[in-house]
Amino acid sequence: MARVLITGSAGGLGLNAAKELIRLGHEVVLHARSESRLDDVSGLRDQARGAVSGDLADPAEAIRVAEEAESFGPFDAVIHNAGVYRGPDIFSVNTVAPYVMTAVMGRPRRIVYLSSGMHRSGSTDLATVDWADATGRPGAYSDSKLYVTALAAAVAVRWPDVASNAVDPGWVPTRMGGPGAPDDLELGHATQVWLGLDADNAAGSGGYWFHQQRRKPHPAVGSGAFRAELLDRLEQYTGIGLPE
Protein backbone atom coordinates (compact mmCIF):
# COMPACT_ATOMS: atom_id res chain seq x y z
CA MET A 1 0.00 0.00 0.00
CA ALA A 2 1.33 3.43 -0.98
CA ARG A 3 0.74 6.77 0.71
CA VAL A 4 0.38 9.60 -1.82
CA LEU A 5 -0.12 13.36 -1.62
CA ILE A 6 -1.84 14.94 -4.62
CA THR A 7 -2.03 18.72 -4.95
CA GLY A 8 -5.07 20.13 -6.68
CA SER A 9 -7.07 16.98 -6.07
CA ALA A 10 -10.55 18.47 -5.65
CA GLY A 11 -11.13 18.49 -9.40
CA GLY A 12 -9.90 17.46 -12.82
CA LEU A 13 -6.98 15.09 -13.20
CA GLY A 14 -6.00 15.32 -9.54
CA LEU A 15 -9.45 14.21 -8.45
CA ASN A 16 -9.44 11.35 -10.96
CA ALA A 17 -6.02 10.21 -9.75
CA ALA A 18 -7.15 10.36 -6.13
CA LYS A 19 -10.26 8.32 -6.85
CA GLU A 20 -8.25 5.69 -8.68
CA LEU A 21 -5.62 5.38 -5.96
CA ILE A 22 -8.26 5.07 -3.25
CA ARG A 23 -10.16 2.51 -5.34
CA LEU A 24 -6.95 0.46 -5.52
CA GLY A 25 -6.63 0.52 -1.74
CA HIS A 26 -3.93 3.18 -1.29
CA GLU A 27 -3.80 6.04 1.19
CA VAL A 28 -4.30 9.48 -0.33
CA VAL A 29 -3.90 12.94 1.16
CA LEU A 30 -6.00 15.44 -0.75
CA HIS A 31 -5.28 19.11 -1.32
CA ALA A 32 -7.42 21.99 -2.51
CA ARG A 33 -6.91 25.72 -2.51
CA SER A 34 -9.73 26.25 0.02
CA GLU A 35 -11.84 24.38 2.54
CA SER A 36 -14.91 25.02 0.40
CA ARG A 37 -13.27 23.16 -2.48
CA LEU A 38 -12.61 20.22 -0.15
CA ASP A 39 -16.26 20.37 0.91
CA ASP A 40 -17.15 19.77 -2.74
CA VAL A 41 -15.49 16.34 -2.50
CA SER A 42 -16.57 15.52 1.05
CA GLY A 43 -17.41 11.92 0.13
CA LEU A 44 -13.92 11.29 -1.16
CA ARG A 45 -12.44 13.17 1.78
CA ASP A 46 -14.09 10.69 4.10
CA GLN A 47 -12.19 7.90 2.32
CA ALA A 48 -8.86 9.70 2.26
CA ARG A 49 -6.08 9.54 4.82
CA GLY A 50 -6.28 13.29 5.22
CA ALA A 51 -6.78 16.62 3.49
CA VAL A 52 -5.11 20.03 3.53
CA SER A 53 -6.15 23.34 2.03
CA GLY A 54 -4.12 26.33 0.97
CA ASP A 55 -3.67 28.65 -1.99
CA LEU A 56 -0.47 27.62 -3.76
CA ALA A 57 -0.30 31.00 -5.48
CA ASP A 58 1.22 32.27 -2.21
CA PRO A 59 4.66 30.72 -1.48
CA ALA A 60 4.03 31.06 2.26
CA GLU A 61 0.83 29.07 1.85
CA ALA A 62 2.68 26.46 -0.19
CA ILE A 63 5.10 26.05 2.72
CA ARG A 64 2.21 25.70 5.17
CA VAL A 65 0.48 23.14 2.95
CA ALA A 66 3.70 21.14 2.78
CA GLU A 67 4.15 21.24 6.55
CA GLU A 68 0.54 20.26 7.26
CA ALA A 69 0.68 17.46 4.71
CA GLU A 70 3.78 16.08 6.43
CA SER A 71 1.65 15.30 9.49
CA PHE A 72 -0.03 12.60 7.36
CA GLY A 73 3.25 11.28 5.98
CA PRO A 74 5.80 10.00 5.30
CA PHE A 75 4.83 9.71 1.66
CA ASP A 76 5.76 7.12 -0.89
CA ALA A 77 4.87 9.58 -3.64
CA VAL A 78 3.93 13.21 -4.16
CA ILE A 79 2.06 14.21 -7.30
CA HIS A 80 2.33 17.94 -8.02
CA ASN A 81 -0.88 18.17 -10.02
CA ALA A 82 -2.18 21.67 -9.17
CA GLY A 83 -1.97 24.12 -12.04
CA VAL A 84 -3.52 27.16 -13.68
CA TYR A 85 -3.67 28.08 -17.36
CA ARG A 86 -4.44 31.79 -17.22
CA GLY A 87 -3.94 34.76 -14.96
CA PRO A 88 -1.16 36.29 -12.87
CA ASP A 89 -0.53 33.15 -10.76
CA ILE A 90 0.76 30.89 -13.54
CA PHE A 91 4.37 30.85 -12.35
CA SER A 92 3.42 30.86 -8.66
CA VAL A 93 1.22 27.78 -8.92
CA ASN A 94 2.80 25.85 -11.78
CA THR A 95 6.48 26.29 -10.93
CA VAL A 96 7.18 28.03 -7.62
CA ALA A 97 4.81 25.95 -5.49
CA PRO A 98 6.18 22.56 -6.65
CA TYR A 99 9.71 23.86 -6.07
CA VAL A 100 8.95 25.15 -2.58
CA MET A 101 7.06 22.04 -1.53
CA THR A 102 9.82 19.78 -2.85
CA ALA A 103 12.44 21.77 -0.99
CA VAL A 104 10.71 21.82 2.41
CA MET A 105 9.11 18.37 2.56
CA GLY A 106 10.81 15.14 3.49
CA ARG A 107 11.91 13.15 0.47
CA PRO A 108 9.33 10.71 -0.84
CA ARG A 109 10.49 7.76 -2.91
CA ARG A 110 8.77 9.17 -5.98
CA ILE A 111 7.81 12.66 -7.20
CA VAL A 112 5.60 13.35 -10.21
CA TYR A 113 5.43 16.84 -11.72
CA LEU A 114 2.66 17.77 -14.17
CA SER A 115 4.04 19.11 -17.41
CA SER A 116 2.40 19.74 -20.79
CA GLY A 117 3.25 19.25 -24.44
CA MET A 118 3.15 23.05 -24.59
CA HIS A 119 6.39 23.17 -22.60
CA ARG A 120 8.26 22.68 -25.88
CA SER A 121 7.44 26.25 -26.88
CA GLY A 122 8.57 27.67 -23.54
CA SER A 123 11.17 30.42 -23.31
CA THR A 124 14.57 29.74 -21.75
CA ASP A 125 14.95 33.41 -20.78
CA LEU A 126 14.86 33.16 -17.00
CA ALA A 127 16.23 36.68 -16.44
CA THR A 128 12.93 38.33 -17.34
CA VAL A 129 10.57 36.08 -15.35
CA ASP A 130 8.45 37.78 -12.71
CA TRP A 131 7.71 34.77 -10.53
CA ALA A 132 5.02 36.63 -8.58
CA ASP A 133 3.04 37.91 -11.55
CA ALA A 134 2.78 36.40 -15.02
CA THR A 135 0.51 39.20 -16.26
CA GLY A 136 1.46 40.40 -19.69
CA ARG A 137 4.05 37.73 -20.41
CA PRO A 138 3.20 35.97 -23.68
CA GLY A 139 3.45 32.21 -23.47
CA ALA A 140 3.62 32.20 -19.67
CA TYR A 141 1.87 28.83 -19.38
CA SER A 142 4.32 27.18 -21.77
CA ASP A 143 7.20 28.79 -19.90
CA SER A 144 5.93 27.55 -16.55
CA LYS A 145 5.64 24.01 -17.85
CA LEU A 146 9.16 24.12 -19.30
CA TYR A 147 10.44 25.20 -15.90
CA VAL A 148 8.61 22.51 -13.94
CA THR A 149 9.81 19.88 -16.43
CA ALA A 150 13.37 21.08 -15.91
CA LEU A 151 12.75 21.06 -12.14
CA ALA A 152 11.81 17.38 -12.33
CA ALA A 153 15.06 16.66 -14.17
CA ALA A 154 17.08 18.75 -11.68
CA VAL A 155 15.61 16.86 -8.71
CA ALA A 156 16.40 13.55 -10.42
CA VAL A 157 20.07 14.56 -10.66
CA ARG A 158 20.37 16.07 -7.20
CA TRP A 159 18.49 13.30 -5.40
CA PRO A 160 19.44 10.00 -7.06
CA ASP A 161 17.54 8.07 -4.40
CA VAL A 162 14.25 9.68 -5.51
CA ALA A 163 12.47 8.85 -8.76
CA SER A 164 11.55 12.29 -10.12
CA ASN A 165 9.60 12.45 -13.37
CA ALA A 166 7.48 14.86 -15.40
CA VAL A 167 4.23 13.84 -17.09
CA ASP A 168 2.33 15.29 -20.01
CA PRO A 169 -1.26 14.16 -19.35
CA GLY A 170 -2.44 15.24 -22.78
CA TRP A 171 -4.99 17.88 -23.68
CA VAL A 172 -7.96 16.41 -21.89
CA PRO A 173 -11.52 17.72 -21.34
CA THR A 174 -11.19 18.99 -17.78
CA ARG A 175 -12.26 22.44 -16.62
CA MET A 176 -8.80 23.68 -17.59
CA GLY A 177 -8.65 21.81 -20.89
CA GLY A 178 -12.17 22.70 -21.98
CA PRO A 179 -14.96 20.46 -23.32
CA GLY A 180 -13.46 20.31 -26.83
CA ALA A 181 -10.10 18.88 -25.75
CA PRO A 182 -9.24 15.93 -28.02
CA ASP A 183 -7.35 13.57 -25.73
CA ASP A 184 -8.75 10.71 -23.62
CA LEU A 185 -9.79 11.86 -20.14
CA GLU A 186 -9.41 8.32 -18.77
CA LEU A 187 -5.76 8.26 -19.85
CA GLY A 188 -5.11 11.72 -18.44
CA HIS A 189 -4.32 10.54 -14.93
CA ALA A 190 -3.09 7.01 -15.71
CA THR A 191 0.62 7.81 -16.01
CA GLN A 192 0.67 9.81 -12.79
CA VAL A 193 -0.92 6.90 -10.93
CA TRP A 194 1.43 4.40 -12.59
CA LEU A 195 4.55 6.36 -11.65
CA GLY A 196 3.21 7.07 -8.16
CA LEU A 197 2.80 3.33 -7.55
CA ASP A 198 6.10 2.26 -9.15
CA ALA A 199 7.33 0.62 -5.96
CA ASP A 200 10.68 -0.49 -7.37
CA ASN A 201 11.18 2.74 -9.33
CA ALA A 202 11.47 0.52 -12.39
CA ALA A 203 10.51 3.37 -14.72
CA GLY A 204 13.62 5.23 -13.66
CA SER A 205 14.05 8.92 -12.95
CA GLY A 206 14.44 12.13 -14.91
CA GLY A 207 11.94 11.13 -17.58
CA TYR A 208 9.32 13.09 -19.47
CA TRP A 209 6.32 10.83 -19.99
CA PHE A 210 3.19 10.74 -22.14
CA HIS A 211 0.76 7.84 -21.68
CA GLN A 212 3.42 5.65 -20.02
CA GLN A 213 5.91 6.26 -22.82
CA ARG A 214 9.08 8.29 -22.43
CA ARG A 215 9.21 11.20 -24.83
CA LYS A 216 11.91 13.70 -25.71
CA PRO A 217 11.40 17.02 -23.89
CA HIS A 218 12.57 20.53 -24.75
CA PRO A 219 16.38 20.49 -25.17
CA ALA A 220 16.82 22.87 -22.22
CA VAL A 221 15.54 20.17 -19.86
CA GLY A 222 18.73 18.22 -20.53
CA SER A 223 20.98 21.23 -20.00
CA GLY A 224 22.78 21.25 -16.66
CA ALA A 225 23.45 24.97 -17.05
CA PHE A 226 19.76 25.76 -17.59
CA ARG A 227 18.69 23.59 -14.65
CA ALA A 228 21.27 25.24 -12.40
CA GLU A 229 20.11 28.71 -13.43
CA LEU A 230 16.49 27.73 -12.78
CA LEU A 231 17.29 26.48 -9.28
CA ASP A 232 19.30 29.63 -8.57
CA ARG A 233 16.47 31.91 -9.71
CA LEU A 234 13.91 30.03 -7.64
CA GLU A 235 16.14 30.09 -4.58
CA GLN A 236 16.70 33.83 -4.99
CA TYR A 237 12.96 34.46 -5.25
CA THR A 238 11.79 32.19 -2.44
CA GLY A 239 14.78 32.31 -0.09
CA ILE A 240 14.64 28.50 -0.01
CA GLY A 241 17.30 26.29 -1.50
CA LEU A 242 16.81 22.76 -2.75
CA PRO A 243 18.78 20.59 -0.30
CA GLU A 244 21.70 18.55 -1.54
Instruction: Out of 145, 147, 208, 237, pick the active-site residue.
Output: 145
Question: Would residue 145 show up in a list of annotated catalytic residues for this protein?
Answer: yes
* Number of other CB atoms surrounding residue 87 within 10 Å: 14
* Number of other CB atoms surrounding residue 123 within 10 Å: 16
Instruction: Out of 141, 147, 208, 237, pick the active-site residue.
Output: 141
Question: Would residue 141 show up in a list of annotated catalytic residues for this protein?
Answer: yes
Q: Which of 112, 98, 78 is CA-nearest to residue 191?
A: 112
Query: Alpha carbon 139 to chain centroid distance?
Result: 19
Catalytic residues: 141, 145
